[in-house]
């Protein structure tokens, strides 16, 4: 190919870099108008959000919505915690099935799938570290006992999930899984139910 014999394009500019040449085309009108519109819009945007601070930026909007969510969550938690004492374990199979899923996912690594105990205590016997009542179980799941390795679940599980998982572990009571963890009632602040 011999460039010198081709007629020169009138739009071709003089400069060249690494064999790349430039044509001096006019930009399409629609493109130019869009560019102008973007400039005007950007200017308005800057004034609205950054000069007059009239609108909320993304971070502020996020913080506002997160605060609303937190408030709703705290209200639900407070309502749940206030009613713990009067709750009875659910017998609803749907609730119990949900509780089992939660248990198998989050609790079984420490309490064993059958509740026999591993890192965490046996949940099937009558020896309770934090009290034998259903409400005692609910409280310890909600608030945990972090110094001894039991987490507080109230920020990880919804109230109905905590209720369901407590109802599920209630069904494990009285079952006799093989090789259970030995009773840990030496630390028990309340009498276990069998002494009552
Ligand atoms: C990281 C390990 C771990 C996980 C995960 C865990 N637990 Fe525990 N759990 C413990 C330990 C350790 C204790 C004993 C705390 C103590 O000695 O005060 C305990 C105590 C308890 C108690 C009180 C037992 C008693 O004798 O009073 C209940 C009820 C309980 N856990 C339920 C649950 C449930 C439900 C889950 C899942 C949502 C769960 N745990 C997840 C380690 C765990």
Q: What is the pLDDT of residues 99-109, one digit of tens each?
A: 999 999 999 99
Instruction: Using the structure block, give the residue that is written with the tokens 């109802």.
Output: 167
Cα(52) to ligand 1 centroid in Å equals 53
Rounded to the nearest angstrom, the distance between the alpha carbon of 121 and the centre of ligand 1 is 7
Q: What would the pLDDT profile of 117-142 be if each residue is shown by its tens digit?
A: 999 999 999 889 999 999 999 999 99
- Among residues 144, 148, 107, the alpha carbon closest in space to that of 116 is found at 107
Q: What is the pLDDT of residue 184?
A: 77
Ligand 1 atom, smallest distance to 187 CA: 17
Mean of per-residue pLDDT scores for the chain: 90
> What pLDDT does residue 138 have?
97
Ligand 1 binding residues, C-beta < 6 A: 106-107, 109-111, 119-121, 123, 128-130, 137, 140-141, 145, 148-151, 153, 165, 169
In this predicted structure, the answer to whether residue 155 has a pLDDT above a threshold of 70 is: yes
In terms of C-beta density within 10 A (0-12 exposed, 13-18 middle, 19 or more buried), how is residue 68 classed? Answer: exposed
Confidence of residue 182 (pLDDT cuts 50, 70, 90): confident
What's the whole-number mean pLDDT along residues 170-182?
Answer: 92
pLDDT of residue 9: 86
How many Cβ atoms from other residues are within 10 Å of residue 32's Cβ? 11
Least confident of 7-16, 47-56, 86-95, 145-154: 7-16
Pocket test for ligand 1, best of 105, 121, 138 (most atoms within 8 A of CB): 121
Q: pLDDT tens digits for 8-51?
A: 888 899 899 999 999 999 999 999 999 999 999 999 999 999 99
From the list 119, 132, 125, 129, the residue with the least C-alpha distance to 173 is 125
Are the C-beta atoms of 155 and 100 separated by less than 8 Å? no
State the burial class of residue 128 (Cβ atoms within 10 Å of its Cβ: 0-12, 13-18, 19+): buried
Task: Provide the pLDDT for residue 192.
Answer: 46
Q: Token pair of 155, please?
A: 């920020």
């Amino acid at each position: 190919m011999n460039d010198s014999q081709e007629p020169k394009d009138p739009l071709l500019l003089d400069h060249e870099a690494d064999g790349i040449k430039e044509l001096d085309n006019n930009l399409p009108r629609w493109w130019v108008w869009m560019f102008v519109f973007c400039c005007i819009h950007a200017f308005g945007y800057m004034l609205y959000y950054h000069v007059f601070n009239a609108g909320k930026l993304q971070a502020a909007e996020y913080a506002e919505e997160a605060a609303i969510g937190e408030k709703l969550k705290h209200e639900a938690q407070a309502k749940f915690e206030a009613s713990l004492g009067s709750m009875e374990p659910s017998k609803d199979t749907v609730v119990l099935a949900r509780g089992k899923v939660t248990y198998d996912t989050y609790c079984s690594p420490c309490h064993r799938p059958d509740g026999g105990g591993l890192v965490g205590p046996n949940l099937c016997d009558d020896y309770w570290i934090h009290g034998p009542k259903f409400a005692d179980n609910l409280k310890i799941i909600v608030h945990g006992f972090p110094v001894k390795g039991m987490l507080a679940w109230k920020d990880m599980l919804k109230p109905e999930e905590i209720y369901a998982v407590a109802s599920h572990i209630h069904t494990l009571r009285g079952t006799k899984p093989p090789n259970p963890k030995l009773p840990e009632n030496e630390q028990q602040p309340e009498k276990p139910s069998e002494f009552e």
